[in-house]
Amino acid sequence: MPDPQSPLRAGEVAVDLPPRTDAEIYFIGTIRTPWKTRQECPKRGTPDGPICTIVFDERWRDGLTGLAKHKRVQVLYWMHEARRDLVLQTPFQRPTSGTFALRSPVRPNPIASSMVELVAVDGLNVQVRGLDCLDGTPLVDLKPEHGAHQT
């Protein structure tokens, strides 16, 4: 976790977080990417980006049954380095904006969502193209894009 006392940029506003949380998350795997630091990390994945590997924990193996037939999947992951208490934020070289008007990792629940190309499923390893997160990012969920196979 970042230092919640780190200095705010011009225009930024932090609020007191609620006194308690309301629900709990299991990390269900780990995302392996080429990017080891936030400086290296692209702001947004591109369809021609490198292959990244989503490694599921053993417990969830059967949950991947039938996944390989899908062309695109949605990946939810936890941006574990982001602070959670800003309501107004000033991204680098951009105007100040409300948190919910941005896709910034800084938000009350730092859950990122990316729609990516499914390349291969091999046991607990799911290869995708188009992700943009740090190596070691915790996986929260993976589901097929809406479409022919949608439930």
Positions touching a second copy (CB under 8 A) are 13, 15-18, 21-28, 43-44, 56-57, 59-67, 69-70, 74, 76, 78, 80, 84, 87-88, 91, 94, 96-104, 107-109, 111, 113, 138, 140-144, 146, 149-151
Half-sphere exposure of 86 (CA within 13 A, CB side): 30
Residue 36 vs 113, nearer CB to a second copy? 113
User: Locate tokens 């049954």: which residue?
Assistant: 65
Report the nearest approach of a second copy to the CB of residue 33 (Å): 19
Q: Residue 51 or residue 88: which is nearer to a second copy going by CB?
A: 88
What six digits make up the tokens of 46? 């591109």
Counting every residue written for the chain, the total comes to 151
| Nearest alpha carbon to residue 74 among 112, 101, 108 | 112
Tokens at residue 151, please? 């439930």
Angle (CA) 61 65 66, round 5°: 155
CB of 108 or CB of 119, closer to a second copy: 108
* Nearer to a second copy among residue 7 and residue 19 (C-beta): 19
DSSP 18: P
Q: How far is the CB of 35 from a second copy (least distance, A)?
A: 18
CB of 36 to a second copy, least distance (A): 21
